[in-house]
Homo-oligomer: A and B are copies of this chain.
Amino acid sequence: MDDKTESLLKRLAQGDQRALSRLITYVDNDHPDCLEALASLDHSQSMSKLIGITGPPGAGKSTLTDQLISSFRHQKLNVGVIAIDPSSPFTGGAVLGDRIRMQRHAADDGVFIRSLGSHGSHGGLSNATRDVVALMKAFGLEKSSPFDVIIVETVGVGQTELDIMSLVDTTVVVLVPESGDTVQTMKAGLMEIADIFVVNKSDRTGADHIFGELKVLSHIAATEDWEIPVHKVVASQGKGLEDLLNSLEIHQKTLEKTSSENSEKKNQVLRQQVLSILTHQIEKRVLEKGFEITEGENPYAVVKRLLSEMNK
C-alpha cells in the first residue's frame, strides 16, 4: 500500500468527505491498493444503520430517498447515500432529473451522495456497492462523525438487487398502483427481499387494490417476529413519511432484539461476501496475467490448465 492510500485512509477515519470520494474512485477503478485498503478497515465501532430502497423503474425511489434524507437531517443524523443505476452505463442516465433533485443536499456537510453505474464497476455492481458500503461504514469513526444512516438505492428486484440488498439491515420495496403485474410475477422475490413495503403515488387510482394485495401477502408470510408493514405514501408531498420512519425504527429494534437468531444469517452473508471478494480478486489476477484461448477451444480444458498453473 503506498503512502497516498495510507493517508487517504487516515483522512477517511477522520471524516474527510474528499478522501471518501477518492477512495470510492479507487474502488471503482480497481486500484492495485484496493484489497489492502479495504482489508485494513476496522468496522467494529461502526453503528451505521443500513437502509435499502428498491423497486421497479418509475416508482419514485429517488424522491422517497430525497425525503428520507431531509427527515434524517432534521433529526441531526449524518447520511450517506449510494444511488445505483444498473440500467445506465453512465451514472445518471434516465433518472438524472431525480438525482439532481437529491443533489440539493450535496451542499449539506452532513450528507454524502455517490452514484454508481455499471460503467467502471469491473466486478459488477454488487461488488462495487459492497466496497463502497465498507468505506462508508469506516467514515468518520475516529472523530465520532460517522454516517448514522447509509441508504442504498437501486432499481429492480432481480438477482443483482438481492445480492446488493443482502448488505443492508432493512430493505424498503417501493411500488406504485401500476405495479400489479410486478407483484404477481415477482411475488417470491418481493417477499424474500422486503422488510417494508411502500405504495408510493398512493393518491392514484388502484392504490387500494395493490395495498390490499400486499397486505394479504405480508400476512401469509408473517413470522413470529415480523409482518412486513405496508405504507401508503405520496413521496413528492411527503405524505405517509412519518409512518414509514416509524416502521424503519421498529424494524431496527426488532433486529437488535433478535440479533442472536440473526447471527447465523449474518454469518452466511459474510461467508458469501468472502467468496465474491475472493473470486473477484482471482478474476482480476487472471485477467491481468492474461491467457490464451483459440476459437472453438474447450473452455473447461483452459480452466484445467489455469488451475494447474496456479497450483505450481
- Residue from A57, A87, A156, A278 having most chain B Cβ neighbours under 10 A: A278
Interchain CB contact under 8 A, B56 and A300: no
Partner of A275, one of B44, B189, B283, B301: B283
Which segment, of A6-14, A228-236, A265-273, faces chain B? Answer: A265-273
Contact A41 B300 (CB under 8 A): yes
Q: A160-B159, A282-B282, A300-B35 are in contact. Are A293 and B271 (CB under 8 A)?
A: yes
CB contact between A282 and one of B278, B287, B301 (< 8 Å): that residue:
B278
Q: Which residues of B contact A87 (CB under 8 A)?
A: 188-189
Q: Which of B38, B56, B297, B306 contacts A270 (CB 8 A)?
A: B297
**Chain B residue contacts of A296, Cβ below 8 A:** 43-44
CA distance A87 to B189 in the complex (A): 8
Partner of A293, one of B181, B274, B304: B274
A295 within 8 A of B: yes
Once bound together, how far apart are the Cα atoms of A36 and B273, in whole Å?
28
Q: Is A220 an interface residue (CB 8 A)?
A: no
Q: Is there an interface contact between A293 and B267, defined as CB atoms closer than 8 Å?
A: yes
Asked if A310 is at the interface (CB within 8 A of a chain B CB), the reply is: yes
> Which residues in window 278-297 of A have CB below 8 A to B?
278-279, 281-283, 286-287, 291, 293, 295-297
A38 to B299, CA, bound (A): 9
The reply to whether the CB of A107 lies closer than 8 angstroms to some CB of chain B is no
Taking a contact as CB atoms under 8 Å apart, the answer to whether B282 and A302 are in contact is no
Please give, as numbers and ranges, the residues of chain B lying within 8 Å of A279 by CB-CB distance.
279, 282-283
A43 contacts which of B38, B283, B298, B302 (Cβ < 8 Å)?
B298
Q: A185-B58, A296-B43, A298-B43 are in contact. Are A303 and B291 (CB under 8 A)?
A: no
A158 on the B face (CB < 8 A): yes
Please report which residues of chain A, range 50-68, place their CB below 8 angstroms from some CB of chain B when the two chains form the complex: 56-58
Task: Given the known inter-chain contacts A303-B35, A306-B274, please indicate yes or no for A263 contacting B188, CB distance below 8 A.
Answer: no
Q: Which of B38, B185, B189 is the one whose CB lies under 8 Å from A300?
A: B38
B298 contacts A281, CB within 8 Å? no
Cβ-closest chain B residue relative to A271: B293
Chain A positions within 8 Å of B, measured between CB atoms, are 35-36, 38-44, 56-58, 87, 134, 156, 158-160, 178, 181, 185, 188-189, 263, 266-267, 270-271, 273-275, 277-279, 281-283, 286-287, 291, 293, 295-304, 306-307, 310
